[in-house]
Chains A and B, each alone.
Chain A
Amino acid sequence: MKLRHLFLVFALSWLVLQPAAEVRAELVVVVNARCGVAAMTRNEVVNVFFGRNRQFFNGIEAQPVDMPDAHPDRARFYSGLVGKDISEVNAYWSRQVFSGRMQPPPKASTTEDVLKWVISHPGGIGFIDLSKADARVRVVYELTP
């Protein structure tokens, strides 16, 4: 009897949560509207977020901001961009950090904090939901879901 109750609770909560997953908005990469970058290719975005290139074409220093593992956008971003799981991205950064090559980008815990970072740094670049983008930032890359 108890087991059936438990099953019902799970089934119900699954039904309730299901629509929420469906309406996930599109993730986009945004830069500071004044930095002069109009659009980026997937490879250029990868190069900046993996620290392979720290400068935009016009010489401005790229200042990427990441998000913590706990934020669902992080997993979506890296799986959409390079098909990698978060653990693989973290493994990559552990190699960079402990070999002394470089530190990973700082992490902003909310989309609002990502926007704040991008607006307050000339070369700021981050990933957010398309619906959160405003005039202060420019969308330079759209992740194909």
Chain B
Amino acid sequence: MTLSNVFSRTFWAHLLKRLIVACVLAQSIALPAIAESESAFSLQGFGTLGVARTTTDDVEFVRDLSQPRGIGKEWSPLVDSVLGLQGAWRIDPQLEAVLQVTSRYRYDQTFYPEVAWAYLKYDLTPNLSLRAGRLGTEFFMMADSRWVGYSFLAARPPGDYFWYLPFYSIHGADAAISVPLGENTIRAKAFYGHSNGQIPLADEQWEIAGSPMIGGYLEYQMDAWQLRASYANIKFKNDLPISAVMRKLIGRGMTGAEAAFLSARNTRTHYYSLGIVYDQGPWQAQLMLNHIEQGSNALESSDGGYLLAGYRVDQVTPYLGYSWVLSRQHGKPLNALAAYVMEDSHSEQQTTFLGMRWDVAKSIALKAQWDLVRGDSTSIFPYRQDHRETWNGKMDVFTLTMDFIF
């Protein structure tokens, strides 16, 4: 599918029509903001119009592994653009129904809108809430608001940290509790459910729907400081579509031994993370660390992290960040084919990124960012369509975005 197809007139006309209908509905439903009339319905939205380019055509740059193709030296709106609409219906003071629909470049190379979340939320007490339905997952801190560009400082969530996280939602339930501890707060959340979605691999899809996920976090909020430790795991229900990819690539599928060696079915991957956030006055700073322990030989385990700091001057916030990821092989590859597959999941790079967020008008932020990716030539997992012979592991990424909420 080409870009012109993705951005075809009919598609956007269709989306625009939906949006207009939704806005008109919102106007007629949402009452003016008078405290006394707590309207039962609300309709809100978010979006990003972004363009980005890199300095190489040796690999295609993606935002995370949910994107089947990426961008090269040409300016492209593919990786960062998104539109989301969220409707909420307060059924009674304790019970709320929420539906979020988003349109972004996804696994099947389209912007076809999909239901991101659809759930019921019940507040057992003001500080204890339960949710059930299709829910966003918070494998890492802020992972469930990764597409709401307006809500964060940088142009996009640091790739070295978030590439490995193509999971967005589960069909399941979660519970969140807040416990005030003097002036501080402890928060905890636990979730369980079945994954929902596909992860693209070359021209194939890795079906992860039905894979059970479980996880949670513990968080301590102390004035301007927020500390969080989280853990999650997923047990994959299906194998990676390696055989199909290999058949196209080298003209043969895998032998039984190879398939067994590289099998992902019934293996469990563990995600550990630690986050520290400081947010007060003009300062914002974040330090995040993660460790991913893969259960399958086909995927390398990895350690990643990032450091980000920004200082607001009036409506402009310049920021500076540094992120890294390093993966390592599980054991000795079975043979040349297995080695090839295992090398495909290697990442070894650091990125320095600097940029500026300008809150230009109410609910609109403009951002410009420059990423300097400096890695090893073997670092190919984060990318698509790699040319291993010429890729040297180094590139710059230039990004311009307009984030908005409504």
Contact residues of A with B, CB < 8 Å? 41, 43-44, 46-47, 52-55, 57, 61-62, 65, 68-69, 82-85, 87-88, 90-92, 94-95, 97-101, 103, 106-109, 113-114, 116-117, 120
Question: How close is A98's CB to chain B, nearest CB, in angstroms?
Answer: 5
Contact residues of B with A, CB < 8 Å? 32-36, 38, 42, 44, 46, 84, 86, 88, 96, 98, 100, 117, 119, 121, 125-127, 131, 135-136, 138, 142, 144-145, 148, 150-152, 176, 178, 180, 183-185, 187, 221, 223-224, 280-282, 312, 315, 359, 362-363, 365, 405
**A-chain residues with CB within 8 Å of residue B42 when the two chains form the complex:** 103
A91 touches B151 (CB 8 A): yes
A36 to B282, CA, bound (A): 35
Q: Given that A53-B127, A99-B148 are known contacts, is A109 also in contact with B88, CB under 8 Å in the complex?
A: no
Chain A: CB-nearest residue to B84 = A98
Most buried by A among B35, B224, B365: B35
**A-chain residues with CB within 8 Å of residue B224 when the two chains form the complex:** 82
Question: How close is A45's CB to chain B, nearest CB, in angstroms?
Answer: 10
**B-chain residues with CB within 8 Å of residue A87 when the two chains form the complex:** 315, 359, 362, 365
Return the contact of A99 from the options B36, B127, B145, B281 (Cβ within 8 A).
B145
Chain A: CB-nearest residue to B223 = A43
B282 touches A83 (CB 8 A): yes
Chain B: CB-nearest residue to A120 = B36
A44 to B184, CA, bound (A): 8
**A-chain residues with CB within 8 Å of residue B44 when the two chains form the complex:** 97-98
A84 touches B180 (CB 8 A): no
A82 to B363, CA, bound (A): 20
A52 touches B221 (CB 8 A): yes
Return the contact of B183 from the options A41, A92, A99, A103 (Cβ within 8 A).
A41
Chain B: CB-nearest residue to A43 = B183
A90 touches B405 (CB 8 A): yes
A87 to B362, CA, bound (A): 7
Q: Given that A94-B46, A98-B151 are known contacts, is A82 also in contact with B281, CB under 8 Å in the complex?
A: yes
9 A-B contact pairs sorted by A residue (CB < 8 Å) = A47-B180, A54-B178, A83-B281, A85-B312, A99-B136, A106-B35, A113-B34, A113-B36, A116-B36
A100 touches B35 (CB 8 A): no
A81 to B312, CA, bound (A): 16
B100 touches A98 (CB 8 A): yes
Please list the 3 inter-chain residue pairs (A to B) with the smallest Cβ-Cβ separation, ordered nearest first.
A83-B281, A54-B126, A95-B151
Chain A: CB-nearest residue to B123 = A54
Chain A: CB-nearest residue to B142 = A95
Other than the known A91-B151, A95-B152, A103-B88, what 18 A-B pairs have Cβ atoms closer than 8 Å?
A47-B183, A53-B180, A54-B126, A69-B362, A83-B281, A87-B359, A90-B362, A90-B405, A94-B145, A94-B151, A95-B148, A98-B84, A99-B136, A99-B138, A100-B136, A109-B32, A116-B36, A117-B35
A96 to B280, CA, bound (A): 18
A85 touches B36 (CB 8 A): no
Question: How close is B224's CB to chain A, nearest CB, in angstroms?
Answer: 8
Most buried by B among A87, A92, A103: A87
Question: How close is A66's CB to chain B, nearest CB, in angstroms?
Answer: 9
**A-chain residues with CB within 8 Å of residue B223 when the two chains form the complex:** 43, 46
**B-chain residues with CB within 8 Å of residue A106 when the two chains form the complex:** 33, 35, 38
Question: How close is A127's CB to chain B, nearest CB, in angstroms?
Answer: 13
A76 to B400, CA, bound (A): 31
A82 to B279, CA, bound (A): 9
**B-chain residues with CB within 8 Å of residue A52 when the two chains form the complex:** 178, 185, 187, 221
**A-chain residues with CB within 8 Å of residue B131 when the two chains form the complex:** 100
Q: Given that A41-B183, A87-B359, A90-B363 are known contacts, is A107 also in contact with B126, CB under 8 Å in the complex?
A: no
A113 to B282, CA, bound (A): 31
Most buried by B among A46, A98, A103: A98
A88 to B313, CA, bound (A): 12
Chain A: CB-nearest residue to B224 = A82
A62 to B123, CA, bound (A): 14
Question: How close is A10's CB to chain B, nearest CB, in angstroms?
Answer: 21
Chain A: CB-nearest residue to B183 = A43
A109 touches B33 (CB 8 A): yes
Chain B: CB-nearest residue to A57 = B180
**A-chain residues with CB within 8 Å of residue B33 when the two chains form the complex:** 68, 106-109
A55 touches B125 (CB 8 A): yes
Return the contact of B117 from the options A61, A69, A100 (Cβ within 8 A).
A100
**A-chain residues with CB within 8 Å of residue B176 when the two chains form the complex:** 101
**A-chain residues with CB within 8 Å of residue B150 when the two chains form the complex:** 90-91, 94
A65 to B33, CA, bound (A): 11
Chain A: CB-nearest residue to B133 = A100
A113 touches B312 (CB 8 A): no
B35 touches A53 (CB 8 A): no
**A-chain residues with CB within 8 Å of residue B365 when the two chains form the complex:** 87, 91
Question: How close is A71's CB to chain B, nearest CB, in angstroms?
Answer: 10
**B-chain residues with CB within 8 Å of residue A107 when the two chains form the complex:** 33, 35
B126 touches A62 (CB 8 A): yes
B148 touches A98 (CB 8 A): yes
**A-chain residues with CB within 8 Å of residue B38 when the two chains form the complex:** 106
